[in-house]
Amino acid sequence: MALVRMRGQLKKLAADQSEHEVGGATVADVLRALEQDHPALAGWVLDERGRIRRHINVFVNGERAAEEAAVGPEDRLDVLPAISGGAK
Amino acid sequence: MSELVVGTKKGLFVLGGEPGGPFEVTARAFAGEPVECAVRDRRSGRLLAGMTSPFYGPKIFFADDPNGEWTQAEGVALPEGGEKALERMWVIVPGEADGLLYAGGDPGVLFESRDGGATWQLNQALWEHPTRDRWQPGGGGLCLHSIVPWPGEPDKLTVAVSAAGVWHTEDGGASWERGNDGLKPRYLPEAPPDDAPQEEDDHEIGLCVHRLDRAPKQPERLFMQFHGGVYRSDDAGRSWSEIGEGLPSDFGFPLVVDPADPDSAYVIPLTADMDRVTPDGRVRVYETRDGGSSWSPRGDGLPAEHAYLTVLRRAFDRVGEGDDLELYFGATSGEVFGSGDAGATWATAALRLPPVYSVTAS
């Protein structure tokens, strides 16, 4: 099972737990499984198309990763809002 | 005491005050997040807000107490696995049956709730309309921004999409028909001849309606602020006649009516589509009381010089009617102005808010 770490609003939606052990072969699989465990997260990280929202970053073992990136049982996923600003 | 629910670039503000005077902030919610639309459903007392986090996407939340806990509504999403994602909520409007509400959003979508806003369903007929692949977004996206119920008839509804024109249903949203005859999109080249082989051209679809409202006492009458042009319809929105003559500019976004008077409408002109500020550095609301045959400026108490404000399409609302009509609008400068006497005189209701996206009054 991969370890998923979240903070802030996402943590609150996931039973106020910052760390979760979740199964799945890809980033998308893991995030979908996380939504199954915590339905309040649905739509917050992945949109309806199954894509990671534009201003959310997912890192696998510290490397930014896309939806189709492979995930192993020993991997660590960090789900973080992107650093953005200037225009808003 | 009147209440304003103000959606801004940096959160929701609830203001309370007496008509024609300054208002106080009584609540702030969604700090730092863009709130594009919000309304208090006068029937239930419930507040509903459409919020689009730049990180987490568009949601609708509801609360009975704006200073208390807000609950995320369910069902505010497009079908999973498709090619589109919901981009933004534009408007939430109570319907004509108990617990019935509508919400409009980008990409040109309508949601309906039958339980006071706790759960929502996408209107499939509009979502799957065969012309949808030819709808074009305006500068603000493909926004469904106006939802106009027919008083006492829950199955009849008109909506407007920028830039996909006016749509009517008379069967509760099971089917939709366009209502765009007479609209003149100056931003397009001349229309092709009627015998052109194309079944529908951009003059029938790419219509950039900015705001729509209905005269409740004469519901077949509607008023429209178009992208260049102010229009009136006397046949329930099937055809439209220009009524913008006499305005300093017929470009603008918001429009409201006095429910007591089917001949009334109020608009806030902006200079032009390429210069979206109040004309001549003066802030003035324009009123008609003869169905658009003539317009009168209503600016007593509004900034009269060096004032280059932008008022967005959902940032103008009214409460009451006739002699008790109250009017309120907010600007992207963060100011909110109010009138307690149908626009005859105005006062600053609030200053130094974040840029105002929407105002609703109750």
Residue type, A74: E
Chain B interface includes A82 (CB < 8 A): yes
C-alpha distance from B60 to closest chain A C-alpha (Å): 12
Q: ipTM of the predicted structure?
A: 0.88
Residue with token string 């493909």? B142
Convert the pLDDT of each residue in B256-285 to its tens digit. 999 999 999 999 999 999 999 999 999 999
End-to-end CA distance of chain B: 9
Tell me the average pLDDT across A40-51.
Answer: 96
Of B358, B348, B265, nearest in space to B307 by CA: B348
Residues of B in contact with A47 (CB under 8 A): 57, 85-86
Confidence of residue B136 (pLDDT cuts 50, 70, 90): confident
Q: Among residues B45, B51, B46, which one has the least CA distance to residue B29?
A: B51
Question: Chain B residues within 8 A (CB-CB) of chain A?
Answer: 9, 34, 54-57, 59, 72, 77-86
Tell me the per-residue pLDDT of B218-244, one tens digit each, with 9 for 90 and over: 999 999 999 999 999 999 999 999 999
Q: Is the pTM of this model over 0.90?
A: yes
Give the strand order in the sheet containing B177-178.
B143-150, B153-162, B165-169, B177-178
Instruction: Answer whether B85 sits within 8 Å of A44, measured CB to CB.
Output: no
CB contact under 8 A, B85 and A55: no
Tokens, residue B360: 């609703």
Q: If we measure between CA atoms, which residue out of B174, B168, B211, B199 comes closest to residue B329?
A: B211
Judged by a CB distance cut-off of 8 A, whether residue A7 touches chain B is: no
